[in-house]
Amino acid sequence: MKQLAMGLFLLSFVLSANPNGFAQTQEQLIAGAKKEGKLVVYASATAPQLQMYFATFNKRYPFIKTEFFRTGKQKLVSKILFEEQAKQHIADVIHTSVIETNILKKRGALSRHVPNEAASYPSQYKDPEGYWTSAYASGTLLGFNSRQVKRAEAPKTYDDLLNPRWKNLIAIDSNKIEWFAMLLKLKGRPFMEKLAALSPTLRDGNTLVLQLLAAGEFPVAAGVYEYSVEDLKTKGAPVDWIGLEPVITYTVAVSLPSQPPRPFAAKLFIEWLLSKEGQEVVNQYGRVPIRDDVESKYGKILKQHKLLMTDVDLGQKEAEVNETFRKLFQ
């Protein structure tokens, strides 16, 4: 009997002292986070987006001092892997694209962690092994200048993009390697060769492509984010969009590093970001929430179309994809 009691005591101690290994209640996370008092998030999201997160998170949990480090996706992966190898554990939470997150998972830089809030998310937005959960999604659509192209005349399918009437008139973001790779997988190389033969205009960045689309420099843009088009549209720009199906969909995940210095604060933030309140902040910033109980301010964009989720292993093929893109379009 004494051995049983001692075993239960030790189990209780492990559950409280080893927050990486077991799920905790909200009360346990709060109690632990109060002792830690700090949170560091590594992200590829924009600084204003992270600041908006923290503004609401800190109102609910004022006892946690929040900090973030942000950079581009590839640089972020390199920094995390360098720190992992050097055993310099600084980040408590990682918030970047699911492709880069999966690279970190494959390299052993993440802890398995299934948040309680993950139960509210469809399976396609979660790692089947429990290493990450998608915090929001972005569909890549066809944008068009509504002054130059009538909706009835705009492409309605990917094959419509190959109509000779669009020669020299299509813009593509040269950074959208994920979109290119998934379209290549979906339609095959002959399709991509025909698209390249139409001499599309390449521009660097989603924002620039849409600014030029709104200015009338070209009438259509392929593979642009739905929230970006809708944002310009609500501001009065002559732009609109059509979902070419299946809509190639990209997600941004949240995950736990292999050894977060402040695991209670880390898990508390992850729970908050995936909660209804956190997803309402995501929505307010202009990203598309995944939870069914949070309606996107842009409508049911991702629920209206058949989706093609981005291959999470794409990061392993990045060099090959980049080389194919360069040969075809540059």
pLDDT band at 302 (very low <50, low <70, confident <90, very high): confident
Residue type at 278 in one-letter notation: G
pLDDT at 23: 61
> 236-252 pLDDT, tens per residue?
999 999 999 999 998 99
| Rounded Cα distance, 112 and 115, in Å | 10
Domain ranges of the chain: 23-137+251-285, 139-249+305-329
pLDDT at 311: 92
> 250-295 pLDDT, tens per residue?
899 999 999 999 999 999 999 999 999 999 999 999 888 999 899 8
Is-same-fold flag (23-137+251-285; 139-249+305-329)? Answer: yes
> 151-202 pLDDT, tens per residue?
999 999 999 999 999 999 999 999 888 899 999 999 999 999 999 999 999 9
pTM for this entry: 0.85
C-alpha distances out from residue 145 to 42, 173, 193, 246, 282, Å: 37, 16, 25, 22, 27
pLDDT at 303: 76
**Mean pLDDT, range 103-116, rounded to an integer:** 97
As a CATH number, domain 23-137+251-285 is 3.40.190.10
pLDDT at 177: 86
Please state, rounded to an integer, the average pLDDT across all residues of the chain.
Answer: 91
Q: Is the peptide bond before 62 cis (omega within 30 degrees of 0)?
A: no
- Packed helices 206-215 and 226-234: angle between N→C axes, nearest 10 degrees: 40
pLDDT at 66: 98
> 143-152 pLDDT, tens per residue?
999 999 999 9
Superfamily of domain 139-249+305-329: Periplasmic binding protein-like II (3.40.190.10)
Neighbouring-strand partners of residue 139: 249
pLDDT at 17: 38
**Mean pLDDT, range 70-96, rounded to an integer:** 96
pLDDT at 299: 67
Please give the distance of CA 197 from its chain centroid, rounded to a whole number.
31
Q: What is the DSSP secondary structure assignment for residue 244, as one 8-state letter?
A: P
pLDDT band at 1 (very low <50, low <70, confident <90, very high): very low
> 312-329 pLDDT, tens per residue?
998 888 888 889 999 998
> 7-45 pLDDT, tens per residue?
443 344 334 334 444 568 999 999 999 999 999 999 999
pLDDT at 12: 40
